Amino acid sequence: MGFWYRRGAIAWLLWPVSLIFCILVLTRRFLYWTRVLKSTHPGIPVIIVGNITVGGSGKTPLVLWIAEFLAAKGWSPAIVSRGYRRNAGGHAETPRAATVASDPAEVGDEPILLARRSGCPVWVGADRVQTIAALRAANPRADVVILDDGLQHYALRRDLEIAVLDARGIGNGFLLPAGPLREPARRLATMDCVIVNGFRRESAFSMALEGEVAHRMTDARDRQPLKAFAGHSVHAVAAIGDPQRFFAHLAAAGIKVQPHPFPDHHPFTPQDLDFGDERPVLMTEKDAVKLRHAARPGWWVLPVTARPDTAFGGWLLGKTDEWRRSKVA
């Protein structure tokens, strides 16, 4: 959707439709605000990490960082995701746990990554209120829930809203379908905090994604720094919100990149990576989840880690300490 990032002819042609979409979005939010539509709090603190735009922006690495941060501070975090593009047959709406052994077709790719990296309980479901209830029943020790996306799921009351923007920002500033916005840009002013990934914005925390060591997909113990690929030509595969971010990261390490962008959450098959030569294939960790049962020695995976401002950790600690004090009181 290249026209989402400039105000060209197509964007202006769709602009009247985006006004209708805006009215619907604002009406829905007003109905929840006035309690005409019911919203529910699950009884434990809820942190939502999302965005107001369509597409990935670095939310999942930040969710992992928050889960690790809270666990180190004595909390027992759990994670909830919708499980985007999952297909569980007639049980697609039923909450279920996502584990490292789950089928990505049934729970989604990101929940498996979250389960493997975080060590926390991870559950998926379209109805977040119902999903958190099921998670708590199965994991009574969980005392804080982190949502990977769900800012617009107003049926769930939340304690903290964290918006993540990448370098694409808010695009052309138009709502769907003329632009990438799910809600008007002024919604950012109502967030508890905004984190920007890969650029700087006033009144926002900054975050970087770091990934410098790849591992062979057939043997995760075989690790190589990215600089080991410098000067070599590789096939780079990415089905994330902004594939160019991944390709640029590899190129910055001196790698000769043959880019292969795919739509976000693309359901990979081994044939998708059959490029007709013996050059190595470098892919994101999220994409590797869907190809783990067809791994080949020439395929390499690059995990990334979020590194937010130190100030963000202090801010988050202050919020969670407030929850603990209020619980004691």
Report the DSSP pairing between strands 299-302 and 213-216: antiparallel
A 10 A CB-CB count for 8 gives 12
Cα–Cα distance between 289 and 270 in angstroms, integer? 12
CB 63 within 8 A of CB 79: yes
Q: Are 36 and 282 in contact (CB under 8 A)?
A: no
* Residue 133 to residue 242: CA distance in whole angstroms: 33
68 token code pair = 């690790």
> What was the pLDDT predicted at 241?
84
Q: What are phi and psi of 82, to 5 degrees?
A: -70, -30
Phi, psi of 233 (to 5 degrees): -90, 130
Query: Cβ of 329: how many Cβ atoms within 10 Å?
Result: 5
What pLDDT score was predicted for residue 88?
54
User: Per-residue confidence of the chain (329 residues) as pLDDT tens digits?
Assistant: 789 999 999 999 999 999 999 999 999 999 999 999 999 999 999 999 999 999 888 999 999 999 999 999 999 999 999 887 666 555 557 899 999 999 998 999 999 999 999 999 999 999 999 999 999 999 999 999 999 999 999 999 999 999 999 989 999 999 999 999 999 999 999 999 999 998 888 889 999 999 999 999 999 999 999 999 999 999 999 999 889 999 999 999 999 999 999 998 899 999 999 999 999 999 999 999 999 999 999 999 999 999 999 999 999 999 999 988 887 54
pLDDT of residue 1: 78
Helices (H), 154-271: 243-252
**The model's pTM:** 0.93
Residue 22 carries which side chain, given as an amino acid letter? C
- Say whether 179 sits in a helix, a strand or coil: coil
CA distance 4 to 221: 41
For residue 86, the model assigns a pLDDT of 67
Using alpha carbons only, give the angle 85, 154, 138 rounded to the nearest 5 degrees.
65
Tell me the residue type at 302.
L
Question: What is the amino acid identity at position 206?
Answer: S
What was the pLDDT predicted at 328? 55
